[in-house]
Amino acid sequence: MSEEIDLTGDGGVIKTIVRHAKADAVGPTTDNPVVDVKYEGVLAETGEVFDTTHEDNTIFSFEIGSGSVIKSWDIALRTMKVGEIAKLKCKPEYGYGAAGSPPEIPPNATLIFEVELVACRPRKSSNLGSSTEERARLEELKKQREMAAATKEEEKKKREEAKAAAAARIQAKLGSKKGPGKGKGKAK
């Protein structure tokens, strides 16, 4: 896994990149502040999952900086690129604080999220000058999603190749250990 990055300088939000985005991937900007993410949140103390988009394969969307999510997400998602998956460790003051979010999240809980940035886009109220600009925006979103899918496919292919290589090594070892045995063989 990658190194831990202290995004707040006080250990409040620690980011570890699980999967890097492609080199030409884009991140959120003032023109594209709305992000689409997939995530899973667990309580650091117990490891219990309190929220996830993985079970129903949904996308969660929000605008960075609008105050609609916990502080740690606003901080961390600004640093991510489309296709990137990061593990975020969030201290209570960057999460739900002393109040928590009962019943799922107790007071003063440290939270751990695994977040994938799926896409970035402009807010709906953005004034798009023409249908040409809208088409360009949709093409860019399509490109971002295709890049994320290609990255996932590459990772899957690498895992499959590694499994096949490991299986071949095991087969080769087993094959080299075989020799004339002492067991009951049928004579011809």
Residues near 96 by Cβ (< 8 Å), separated by ≥ 6? 70, 105, 109, 111
Nearest of 150, 17, 149 to residue 84 by alpha carbon: 17
- CATH label of the domain that carries residue 70: 3.10.50.40
Tell me if 179 is assigned to some domain: no
Check residue 59 and give its pLDDT.
93
How far apart (Å, rounded) are the C-alpha atoms in residues 31 and 125? 11
For 34, what's the count of Cα atoms within 13 Å in the CB-facing half-sphere? 11
Residue with tokens 């593990």, as numbered in its chain: 87
Nearest of 6, 186, 17, 180 to residue 90 by alpha carbon: 6
The helix or strand, by DSSP H or E, that contains position 144, with its residue range, turns out to be helix 131-177
User: Is residue 50 located within the same domain as residue 108?
Assistant: yes
Tell me if 183 is assigned to some domain: no
Strand, coil or helix: what is 59?
Answer: coil
Tell me if 110 is assigned to some domain: yes
**Banded model confidence at residue 109, pLDDT cuts 50, 70, 90:** very high
User: Is residue 117 located within the same domain as residue 133?
Assistant: no
Q: Which residues of 65-75 are buried (b: 16+ CB within 10 A; e: fewer)?
A: eeeebbbbbbb
- Which residue range(s) make up the domain with 153? 129-170
Tell me if 95 is assigned to some domain: yes
User: Is residue 115 located within the same domain as residue 133?
Assistant: no
Number of domains in the chain: 2
Name the maximum alpha-carbon separation found in the chain: 87
**pLDDT tens digits for 133-167?**
667 777 777 777 777 777 778 888 888 898 888 88
DSSP string, 11-26: SSEEEEEEEPPPTT--
Specify which residues 37 forms β-bridges with.
60, 117
Check residue 182 and give its pLDDT.
58
- The Cα-based distances of 22 to 13, 57, 98, 117, 128 in angstroms read 24, 23, 38, 12, 28
The residues that are catalytic are 39, 50-51, 70, 96, 113
User: Is residue 77 located within the same domain as residue 137?
Assistant: no
User: Is residue 115 located within the same domain as residue 135?
Assistant: no
User: Is residue 27 located within the same domain as residue 115?
Assistant: yes
Q: pTM, whole model, 2 decimals? A: 0.66
Check residue 72 and give its pLDDT.
97
Mean pLDDT of 41-59: 94
